[in-house]
Structure 1
């Protein structure tokens, strides 16, 4: 028989496993995009269409997921989408023609979008039930998963295993972890009243919530750009694919470190300063990655970019989920939809711009986002959150 402490710890690990699974599946997809592009002989523009198809599917399902989470809670949706995500990855890597590829990436986007909304609502519930501010640490698990996906892909390339082999292994891992941990996911205390009440127009038109949505869009747009184009950018400099993966790996490593320490730092300097510092470092690090003359400096630039972005999304999600006069699930779902819209809109935008101006100039969009965040920092309160590192103690 489990004690309350054991149940609480298992619940934390269950939610963390959602974020880790999401990260490792998406990380595996992201670093193998060049493999897909080469296999199907896709130009930058054609690849942008594939990525846009994935994004449209994700954004389309996210709005529906937000409503279903508000009505029924996020537990069941989290489990279903977490199982569907690696299945879709297997289908994408096993595709043999363009039609099957487009259908597969549509399913991949839909699963990722649904999982993004539901797992973040699970994180919100975890914090609301006495676990403090866990969002930064949960997103750290997602970053750890992304790094693991990149590392495993690097190993598979060395062993000459096709990406589909890793995808099948991830599906098996997900099935085992879901059996062990997902029964402990948080259940909403009472969803009966929610089924009678739809989200109000006032909730969705709240000016502060709209601000969080815009910032979430821009920040996750940058995340999507780096995930999909950092490897391709380094390959364009005549770097091998296995070496080019190191750019995204450095990004993920520094982001993990930033998110593990971010809760403690935010508790000292506050959200406003964190946003300003993150935006400043984002612009500077992107300039280093693009204009440095040697590979080591470029990798450092990508690493510092991960550090700059580490706590921006968790801070935005934390604020949106704790607003007055707005349901926590609605606030979380809204910034999730906005954020993922940016996540999937950014890569096609860069691809289209790269066709006209070159990939290095297209990536300057990341530096522009950093400047925007600096300007928006004054809109944040100087509120300080409890250190996130205590949440999993």
Structure 2
């Protein structure tokens, strides 16, 4: 009896440790991508890339991520998320260092693909491990994990600009690599261990036959398409349509991303209290109103407020969709999660280029107003978010 009590106490302590490990790793993953942003101009200049050439390079990053996501999900179904997470986190540590040291365009293209593959695979493994911890803790943690990702991206972008300006691109990437290694070292022994269940171990390398994970993927996709639109085109919209100056045009995405990060840290208690379905509906409604306000705004202040409200709404939609995918009954966690993640990230990686094409023919006002309508689809599918609560409720 005493032995079982001691084991239970050790197990209870292990779950918060697993949560702390995920905080460090989500931060590290976001930190890599945030640190990449201020390096882009130096990367393009060093390799002599045109805007079109740089666009193709960035596309290689996205292709690498999307290529590895389905494979990573299948591997997680067979051997568990912890081993995959350790390996992919380890390969992500030198990612920016590799991109800094490449000397020609062909090697840079290969490096971009590989970096995208490692970062994307780590993303799948982190989210799968977060679902493991959610199940054991019987409470939601996914939104706060994504909050750490947003925080990592913000810190990486700000710190990167300062370090590159003062010490140069090489010293910047050395510091980034050391921070990444430190984050991995701090999390290494705390990562929640798991393994395949007997039926998941025999899951074939095939797409799910049920339509439900695809519908959950549509929810993730329709949340991330507007996010990508604000990221890549928000500043241009504010300048062209509303005559914003340089400072104000940058505030659009700044307000959007800050609202997302803050709401993600607040999202788990909201979801635990209201349930995933009601939370998803409230989020979709807020995002719908916010994006419409931004698209129909008479001035810059209203547009920035609209982007902020949209950020508050979008913040927890993707984490809930990921939790729902990972808790789908009858499906291997890694396979369903990788499908939904693949569909979601397709929106943020490829939709901005389609929006750019559309902007040559119609106004940004119309584009943002139409993007708001995507949240009506999310509202219509919101009942599927009930699967997210499967990992956070007691038996």
- TM-score (normalizing by structure 2): 0.81
Deviates more, 1:287-296 or 1:22-31: 287-296
Q: Distance in 1 between matches of 2:261 and 2:339?
A: 25
In the TM superposition, what is the alpha-carbon distance from 1:120 to its structure 2 partner?
A: 0.6
In the TM superposition, what is the alpha-carbon distance from 1:230 to its structure 2 partner?
A: 4.3
Q: Distance in 1 between matches of 2:235 and 2:83?
A: 35
Contact 1:270 1:384 in 2 (8 A): no
Match of 1:79 among 79, 86, 95: 86
Corresponding residue number in structure 2 for 1:317: 322
In the TM superposition, what is the alpha-carbon distance from 1:212 to its structure 2 partner?
A: 0.4
SS in 2 for 1:77: helix
In the alignment, is residue 215 of structure 1 matched against residue 219 of structure 2? yes
Counting only pairs closer than 5 Å after superposition, residues 119-198 of structure 1 correspond to structure 2 as 119-156=126-163, 159-190=165-196, 194-198=200-204
- Structure with bigger gyration radius: 2
Contact 2:320 2:388 in 1 (8 A): no
Counting only pairs closer than 5 Å after superposition, residues 203-352 of structure 1 correspond to structure 2 as 204-230=208-234, 246-289=251-294, 292=297, 297-352=302-357
SS in 2 for 1:380: helix
In the alignment, is residue 11 of structure 1 matched against residue 25 of structure 2? no
In the TM superposition, what is the alpha-carbon distance from 1:34 to its structure 2 partner?
A: 5.5
Distance 1:272 1:369, change over 3 A: farther
Distance 1:229 1:18, change over 3 A: farther
- Superposed CA deviations along residues 185-227 of structure 1, whole A, max 9, x for unmatched, are 12224556644442666xx121221100122222223333444
Distance 1:183 1:368, change over 3 A: farther
Q: Distance in 1 between matches of 2:369 and 2:102?
A: 36
Q: Distance in 2 between matches of 1:313 and 1:370?
A: 16
In the TM superposition, what is the alpha-carbon distance from 1:285 to its structure 2 partner?
A: 3.2
In the TM superposition, what is the alpha-carbon distance from 1:311 to its structure 2 partner?
A: 0.6
Distance 1:114 1:249, change over 3 A: same
In the TM superposition, what is the alpha-carbon distance from 1:59 to its structure 2 partner?
A: 1.0
What RMSD over aligned residues (CA atoms) do the two structures have, in Å? 3.5
Match of 1:113 among 112, 120, 139: 120
Q: Distance in 2 between matches of 1:379 and 1:50?
A: 35
Q: Distance in 1 between matches of 2:44 and 2:248?
A: 17
SS in 1 for 2:133: helix
Contact 2:322 2:337 in 1 (8 A): yes
Contact 2:327 2:388 in 1 (8 A): no
Gaps of 5+ in 1: none
- Superposed CA deviations along residues 284-340 of structure 1, whole A, max 9, x for unmatched, are 434555665765555444333321211100111122222222222322222112222
Distance 1:87 1:289, change over 3 A: farther
SS in 2 for 1:187: coil
Q: Distance in 1 between matches of 2:225 and 2:314?
A: 11
Q: Distance in 1 between matches of 2:42 and 2:248?
A: 14
Q: Distance in 2 between matches of 1:103 and 1:80?
A: 20
**Corresponding pairs, count:** 380
Gaps of 5+ in 2: 1-8
In the alignment, is residue 42 of structure 1 matched against residue 50 of structure 2? yes
